[in-house]
């Protein structure tokens, strides 16, 4: 369940990008984690594998638990990255985690999980009362999300490797993406039982089209239309903050 990396840098875009592209997402996500860290807290890092969501030196006195479907990914993490490894699919409940987690975090993982409702129910059960869940993930009705589902896995993996400029080998695995209920109108009911939830849509898929200025301009026109009219089902990504 290792997290999908975001595509090539916005600096490599062929055309000027709108202001919504200005914020660097990884620092934004990490800042949100840091704001919620408390001494003695237990953090469940979901699907981060070899790349924990926050470096070990920035965690104060917290206990970091890595949950990933791939044991190999967890073992490739830097020394001290996790105090505990849990090898499991997020959609399968791990009874030992129930009620033990203060903060659960997930970076570019939920699009790889199905059924998503069951996975979120599991996260809810792992959190202590008042515990929080932070997740950034890709939208199912994004252009790349639709293409990813339409193409056969072998072809899709090759396209992902080329577009994202990452090697297609065993050292950089590409995990299947299902995009199960990964759109705004389907997400809201999944969080109905949580005490608080914010589902923030983002529209930032143009860098996937770095190979052509013409295609990138056409895509940006479509994306800006969706963003300006609040068509949040068409968002390319979502940032969710939810409290049990």
What are the pLDDT tens digits along the chain (244 aa)? Answer: 544 434 445 555 678 999 999 989 999 999 999 999 999 999 999 999 999 999 999 998 999 999 999 999 999 999 999 999 999 999 999 999 999 999 999 999 999 999 999 999 999 999 999 999 999 999 999 988 888 877 765 555 555 555 545 555 555 556 789 999 999 999 999 999 999 999 999 999 998 898 899 999 999 999 999 999 999 999 999 999 999 9
* Distance, CA of 107 to CA of 46 (rounded, Å): 8
Write down the pLDDT at residue 160. Answer: 53
Ordered by where they begin, the domains of the chain are 10-243 (3.40.50.150)
Q: In what order do the strands lie in the sheet with 237-243?
A: 84-87, 63-68, 42-46, 101-107, 127-138, 237-243, 196-202
Residue 59 DSSP SS3: coil
Helix-, strand-, coil-residue percentages of the chain, each rounded to 5: 40, 20, 45
Residue 90 DSSP SS3: coil
Write down the pLDDT at residue 166. Answer: 52
130 burial (CB, 10 Å; 0-12 / 13-18 / 19+) is exposed
* Distance, CA of 171 to CA of 2 (rounded, Å): 12
Phi-psi region of 99 (alpha: psi -120 to 50; beta: other; left: phi over 0): left
* Distance, CA of 238 to CA of 87 (rounded, Å): 26
CB atoms within 10 A of CB 188: 12
Full-model pTM: 0.89
Structural tokens at position 78: 């830097």
Write down the pLDDT at residue 60. Answer: 83
Write down the pLDDT at residue 4. Answer: 40
Structural tokens at position 190: 């999944």
């Amino acid at each position: 369940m290792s997290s999908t990396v975001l595509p090539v840098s916005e600096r490599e875009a062929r055309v000027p990008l709108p202001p919504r592209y200005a914020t660097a997402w990884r620092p934004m996500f990490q800042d949100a984690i840091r704001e919620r860290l408390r001494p003695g807290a237990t953090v469940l890092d979901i699907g981060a594998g070899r790349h924990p969501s926050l470096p070990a030196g920035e965690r104060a006195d917290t206990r970091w638990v890595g949950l990933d479907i791939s044991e190999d990914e967890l073992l490739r993490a830097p020394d001290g990255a996790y105090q505990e490894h849990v090898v499991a699919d997020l959609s399968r409940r791990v009874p030992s985690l129930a009620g033990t987690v203060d903060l659960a975090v997930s970076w570019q993982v939920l699009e790889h999980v199905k059924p998503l409702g069951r996975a979120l129910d599991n996260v809810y059960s792992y959190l202590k009362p008042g515990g929080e869940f932070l997740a950034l993930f890709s939208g199912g009705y994004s252009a790349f999300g639709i293409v990813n589902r339409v193409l056969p896995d072998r072809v899709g993996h090759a396209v992902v490797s080329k577009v994202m400029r990452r090697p297609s080998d065993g050292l950089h695995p590409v995990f299947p993406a299902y995009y199960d209920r990964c759109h705004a109108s389907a997400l809201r009911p999944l969080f109905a039982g949580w005490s608080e939830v914010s589902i923030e849509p983002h529209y930032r898929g143009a860098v996937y089209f770095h190979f052509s200025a013409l295609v990138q301009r056409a895509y940006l026109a479509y994306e800006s239309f969706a963003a300006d009219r609040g068509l949040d089902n068409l968002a390319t990504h979502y940032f969710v903050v939810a409290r049990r």
